[in-house]
Amino acid sequence: MDPDVIQQRLSQITTAWTLVAQARDRTADGDTAALAALVQRYQTAVYRYLLAAVRNPDVADELFQDFALRLVRGDFGRADPGRGRFRDYVKTALINMVINHHKKQRKVATLDPAAVEPVFESADRFEADEAFLADWRKALLDKAWEALAAAQEPGGPPYHTALRYQSERGLTGAELAERLNADLRPAKPFTEAALRKILQRAREKFADLLVGEVARSLQARSLDEVEQEIIDLGFHVYCRRAIERRRV
């Protein structure tokens, strides 16, 4: 499904996160509120996993809302930072929901010979797992980009704009300077030398933000565990120096 369509469907699923917000306001259980906020933060990865597993947008919508409600009720148990990564906790809960959904469908198929039985074959499971990991990585990167954009001050160094242009369009130094000067119209035009320094600092800031986002997803685990998660996600080459800066 097209990413824009997925975001549109998610924006229409208001019941689930209304319940989460209400629970956050009324509950004395801070752990549940924090857990709900984390799932909301990475909801696209959750929804896309369900969609890949059931291959029916309407069913995925229902399961997504059910997942949020059951999370608030504590049906999946508590996410214990000492027992595993948060994304593993989420994926385990989702797998169990999908399996239960297929079991119910098989019972329906038994009663109705004309019914089509959905199957979660090993190949489908592998595809869904790979998609979940890719979407989880994208969610972390998107949050880091959002934070970098929020940190860019009017009239200050265009860290977010410069890095975004350079990463998405592969512009040369001269092309980047020309584009930024045309779009931002700074009082003092950017030179290639100045942009090299801006890009270097922008990459450092982005890496720091990405490490912070990964740490947040792990619910305050140790720096060694954060680094291992960064390695597992394939971010280590980019984030290695950011980890080293945190160790100082």
The strand ranges marked E within 143-221 are: none
Cβ neighbors of 213 (< 8 A, separation 6 or more) are 140, 143, 144, 147
| Structure-model confidence comparison of residues 34 and 130, the more confident one | 130
Whose tokens are 């030398």? That residue is 193
In the chain, the amino acid numbered 187 is A
pTM beyond 0.95: the answer is no
**Measured between alpha carbons, how far is 220 from 61 in angstroms, rounded to an integer?**
31
Amino acid at 116: V
pLDDT digits (tens, 9 = 90+) for 136-192: 898 899 999 999 999 999 889 999 999 999 998 888 899 999 999 999 999 899 999
